[in-house]
Chain A
Amino acid sequence: MRLFAVGLSHRTAPVELRECVDFSRDGVDAALSALVERNAGREAVVLSTCNRAEIYAAGDTDATVEALERFFGDYHGVPHAQMSEHLYTRRGADAARHLFRVAAGLDSLVVGEPQILGQVKSAYSAAAEHKTTGALTNRLFHAAFAVGKRVRSETGLGEGAVSVSYAAIALAKKILGDLKGLGVLILGAGEMAKLTGVHLQAQQVTQITIASRTLQTAQNLAGHLGGRAVPWTALDEALAASDIVVTATGATEPVLTRRRVEDIMRARRRRPLFVIDIALPRDVEAEVGNLDQVFLYNIDDLQTIVHENMARRAGELAHAEAIVEEEVARFASWMQSREIIPTVVALRQRFESIRQSELARLESKMSNLPPEARARLDEITHLIVEKLLLTPTEQLKAVSDQAMVAAYADALNRLFSLAANESPDAADAGGPETKTGGRS
């Protein structure tokens, strides 16, 4: 049995198509049931996130790939020709490598993002509940979880925010601790102010206050964010009551001068204040950042942090890829040790069938023997066959090297004409199909 992965992702398909090909829309369970109905693959796991839709399946032949590719189009009502140009297919160890890279966040749009591992886990548990997993996919997904965990703990791939808003929130957490229960003040009511407000709202801050020169626009934004609007004249009180201040006004002169913030810090008894200035020109005098317990970051500072983080993540890529390769090698050698099993089974069947046919041939001569003697004969011949096969079976099962597996399978096929009975699927790690019996 071989491993296959068929799917599309942000790398191969435009967003319009990805929106169409969303297995989670009707529930992954429905997709799994449909797969079982179509008999596409013996084991199957469906992974569906906003950036990818993939099916990992185990099947006997390449016909499984064909069936999976057709399933993608048919299930979502997209013509096969249109779908197939965006689909990629991975076989054997390549399929494992693909899943490991996905689980590690290496294939994500934002490299190293942590959510994907959880999504891989839930895709697997959905399939496990639906009983569409088997020996191959069980092993594959548990190995993928291990890769994800290792990459997270052994590399800095997921570290450091890589967008300005996340960088700002990460900084706020590093300064103020848990943001739950803190007060946020937004100065200005434009698009930037709105965007930042939405991000901060997601952090469950207690109170978002909006101050703008025109109270009406502040009230509009406050309504949108579920916050509170204050008139511009009440700015100082609002500043004193807040822990995070985001400035995004269109003012040409600084709104927060050093003197003003100094007075406010006294009023707030020097509780730390995190000021994020995303306005251009600046809303906050640079000297404000020199005040004790005031942490001032402007948009350029945040962008610099993002660039640094991206560079650091890029530096960790090689390390993460090395972990993936290590685990792929381990998994591939496990798969290869399984690949000899059909040959072993065929060999045993061959011996057994010879024994049976010889016994049948002698049937006429043995008809006058008592039943005990016939039973004894059956037992003895069976024991001879078992004894003959004992060492070869053990030796074959111990082979884990890919080339050796292929060589042994080939030799046994020739020596005992096994291919006639059962085609051992000595699948390779994605190389061209050269084996006889690629289709049986």
Chain B
Amino acid sequence: MHLVPLLLYAAATAAYVAHFAWRDPRVGRLATAALGAGVLAHTFLIGMQTVEAGHAPLVGTSAAISAFVWLLGLSYLYVELSSDERAMGAFVAVLLVALDVIPALDPTVTPRPPLLRSPLFTVHVVSMLFAYASFALAFVLGITYVLLFNEIKAKHLGFFYARLPSLHVLDVMNGRAITVGWIFLTAGVTIGGIWATQIHSSPDPRAQAMSVADPKILVALLSWGIYSFAFFARRAIGWSGRRAAWLSAIGFVIVLLNFVPVGFFLTKSHNF
């Protein structure tokens, strides 16, 4: 069962890439349908895991990645259906497949330790994941912005020119994604901070490790700094377009590093 979403995401990726290359609207609809089916299957999977464990499967990096993939798929579908723009799908779906491999290989639901029984934990994780999903979309929008930007600047109108929406649209959507992500990131970090002070007296070594010096928390604050800059620089000094695109690309690379390698190997506070 845990492989079904991955297979459907892979099918969606193939269809989105084929649609991007050959622009057959039927293949495009097929891609959306496959992604929709993938997200639906993923919803069932997470639902089943919730029933089995008696709590939302958010404990541990693997489960968090699964939830992130699900949220990203859902957010992307929302963006696609509301903007009627399918070109981004090829990029997003690749990301979904690459990340969903991890929970598909390690589908066990970690039992929730007593430390995490606070509702603040759930709110913290869900906010962070939602922020990361927004940043993933901003990342894809940024990458495509730069690809199109370079074609137009080089005066060689080709592959991306024929396939991507306008620079203006990409930039506006990037700005929105950063805004939504920044709000959730700010909320997630704040709630995480409050919750960390609440559990400070706990004998659990992970609670003791909750400090700015912990790599996971440090890098999260670094990414908050970058996105805060992107958020305010767009408004205050007109950092839109290519600069905003690069900021969102760098920001998401850091988020990914924090999410996967740091989450798995380095952190002492977030290794559940």
Contact = CB atoms under 8 A, between A and B. Distances in A.
Interface in A266-310: 269-272, 289, 292-293, 295, 297, 301, 304-305, 308
B1 interface: no
B261 interface: no
A178 B167 CA distance: 11
A271 B238 contact: yes
Contacts of B152: 171, 174-175, 295
B156 to A, nearest CB: 9
A176 interface: yes
A275 to B, nearest CB: 12
Give the secondary structure class of B's interface: helix
A173 B242 contact: no
Contact of B166 (A154, A156, A177): A177
Nearest to B169: A177
A153 interface: yes
Contacts of A289: 153
Interface residues of A, number: 25
B117 interface: no
A159 interface: yes
Contacts of B168: 175-178, 272
B57 interface: no
A175 to B, nearest CB: 5
Contact of A269 (B155, B238, B242, B243): B238
Interface residues of B, number: 22
Contacts of B167: 174-177, 272
A305 B241 CA distance: 24
B162 A159 contact: yes
Contacts of B105: none
A173 B166 contact: yes
Nearest to A292: B242
A308 B241 contact: no
B198 to A, nearest CB: 43
Nearest to B243: A292
Interface in B11-46: 23-25
A295 B166 CA distance: 13
A269 B242 CA distance: 14
Contacts of A270: 238-241
Contacts of A271: 238, 240
B224 interface: no
Interface string B148-160: 1000110101000
A263 B233 CA distance: 19
Interface in B209-255: 237-243
Nearest to B237: A269
Contacts of A305: 155, 157
B91 interface: no
A295 B239 CA distance: 17
B154 to A, nearest CB: 10
B272 interface: no
Contacts of A292: 241-243
Given A171-B152, A292-B242, A153 B24 contact: yes
Nearest to B236: A269
A154 B22 CA distance: 8
B161 interface: yes
B48 to A, nearest CB: 40
Contacts of A308: 157
Contacts of B166: 173-177
A199 B162 CA distance: 22
A339 B172 CA distance: 60
A155 to B, nearest CB: 10
Contacts of B24: 153-154
11 contacts: A153-B23, A160-B162, A177-B168, A177-B172, A271-B240, A272-B241, A292-B242, A292-B243, A293-B241, A293-B242, A297-B155
Interface of B: 23-25, 148, 152-153, 155, 157, 161-162, 166-169, 172, 237-243
Interface of A: 153-154, 156, 159-160, 171, 173-178, 269-272, 289, 292-293, 295, 297, 301, 304-305, 308
